Amino acid sequence: MTMDGVRLSQLAKCSRMAAYGALGTLTDELPYDPEESWFRGKVYEAVAALRAGSEWGTEYDGQPNIERQRVVPWPLGEGHADVFVRSERLLIECKSSVSDSDIPLVDGMRQLQLYVHFDPEAVAGELWFFDPRKGAFKPLRIRAEAMDVATAERLVDNVRQAMDGGDLPPRVCSHPKMGPEHLCPFVETCFDGWVEPVARID
């Protein structure tokens, strides 16, 4: 299958991943069930919206205070933040994982920072990280500010250059085994022809 368009969530993980998506590159056979992942995400998004409404109220200035799947425009497309709290001008992005790696947490923070950077109304964000092993519906909450302008522009320019026929951005992973932690659908393509370095024993 192909993934059309540039995804802000992929840009947060790896500019090269986003470039492959933008170029319509065939995806690998995924090591996880994307439908199950999607439904799990929707459950936690709904939990976050309910929690946010309970904490900050469901109405603000005569309008709904909690907005789900808020569209965040950016130079190469649009992203969709899980929850926006109008009264606080706060974006909430939900992630869940049972991995002991910090990669899902780091990727989620970068995604949220990009959303806050590109959303003209948002002033801050919170990553709500759910670990089913530690209480299915009580998230770890981490505050985040916008990504700095120079970093955000560099990430976008890296993808734009590839779309214009230039070189692909450098990969984030140093080894193909790291790809699944980033939920990358292009590991085989990205590491085609790669040879694992021989470890030196002095």
Q: What is the pTM of this model?
A: 0.88
Is residue 3 a contact partner of residue 26, using CB atoms and an 8 Å limit? no
Which domains, from first to last, does the chain contain? 8-190 (3.90.320.10)
Top-confidence residue, 40 or 51: 51
The lowest-confidence range among 18-27, 106-115, 121-130 is 18-27
pLDDT reading at 40 higher than 90: no
Q: What is the mean pLDDT of the chain?
A: 90
| pLDDT tens digits, 118-169 | 999 999 999 999 988 877 788 999 999 999 999 999 999 999 999 999 999 9
C-alpha distances out from residue 169 to 24, 91, 118, 196, Å = 16, 28, 21, 20
Is residue 115 a contact partner of residue 121, using CB atoms and an 8 Å limit? no
